[in-house]
Amino acid sequence: ALSYFWGSDEKPRAFRTYTGSTPTTESPFSFLTRLRDPTMTQAVWADAICITQ
């Protein structure tokens, strides 16, 4: 599970995707950059999203 919340004071980070660039905060950015091998192209899928505001 990856925790993420809206309204953070963190400066957004840009994560490059095949469709362009997606802004995100540090938590998901850090997770995704550690998950992948920077020398390879890799698809990452999310099978469920739950938004609690």
pLDDT in tens, 23-43: 777 777 787 778 778 788 777
pLDDT of residue 7: 62
Average pLDDT over the chain reads 73
Domain spans in the chain, listed from the N-terminal domain onward: 10-35
- C-alpha to C-alpha distance for 45 and 36, rounded to whole angstroms: 12
- C-alpha to C-alpha distance for 41 and 26, rounded to whole angstroms: 21
Give residue-wise pLDDT tens across range 8-22: 666 788 877 777 887
Residue 2 pLDDT > 70, yes or no?
no
pLDDT of residue 52: 61
Percent of the chain with pLDDT over 90: 0
Q: Which two tokens stand for residue 36?
A: 């992948």
